[in-house]
Amino acid sequence: MAFVTSTKMLRDAKEGHYAVAAFNVENMEMIKAVLAAAEEMQAPVMLQTTPSTVRYGTLETFVAMVRAEAARRDIPVCLHLDHGDSFELAVRAIKAGYTSVMIDGSKLPFEKNAALTKRVVDVARAVGVPVEAELGKVGGKEDDLEVSEDRYTDPEEAGRFAEQTGVSSLAVAIGTAHGFYIGEPVLDKDRVKDIAARVEAPLVLHGASGLSESDVRECVSNGMCKVNFATELRAAYTDAVKKLLAYDPKTYDPKKLGIVGIDAVKDQVIARIKMCGCGGKAFI
């Protein structure tokens, strides 16, 4: 199926009361794993790369790999820039062929965040690319992004922000954190309902790695339309490679390492698609 933007899949999710599962990928093997799982589940899917990942592999490399693999699959596939940290990077991603971008100005004061987001939205809208932004701070650490304190998103501010920027989707802070949790997360799930009542754009849940299935399902039921997963995929891939090398230290063929990594990531992706309720939604 077509290599698509996130616009229709997120609007369909909002109307259908499920969420699109979005997965951070680091290499060709993870791309293959995510798409194989999504096709098996007949789910729309978003693949994501962070700034550090594109420095490692380049924007153009990931576009080429995802386009080639998506062409072999009978599902809608979107490639998204996750936590874009500058106007320049967002524009470069659009020019390279990304079909969705995030500009993360959440560390800035409200007005500066809104101004930066609006600047990206104006450029992206001219070429039909949707833009995700973030309001409030999701705690924890992911790649270059580190936040030591959570700042929950204010529903009234979220409404003003969405109106001022025209953003296509909005990541909000409800007590989640990037990376694996230390202790039990305390989530303000009712806040999702309050924000959804004021924001027309689909809402995005960051920091879902390590949340229970019931937590994810309740957040989706309350209005989250996209859920991001990253850390558990990386851990599954790395652990599978470690186990193979422990079992057979003489293994030297990188393809064998990649195969066990693909299988481990695929299992994780299938489980998360089920959590989000987007299985069987590829053609809605």
104 is a catalytic site residue:
no
If residue 135 lies in a helix (H) or strand (E), which one and from where to where? strand 131-135
3-state helix, strand, coil in the chain (%, to 5): 50, 20, 35
| Rounded-to-integer distance, Cα 140 and Cα 149, Å | 8
Backbone angles phi, psi at 186, to 5 degrees: -110, 105
d(CA 29, CA 177): 26
Measured from the Cβ of residue 74, the count of other Cβ atoms closer than 10 Å reads 9
Q: Which is catalytic among the residues 82, 85, 104, 154?
A: 82
For the beta sheet containing 139-142, the strands, ordered from the edge strand earlier in sequence to the opposite edge, are 145-147, 139-142, 177-178
Indicate which residues carry an active-site annotation.
82
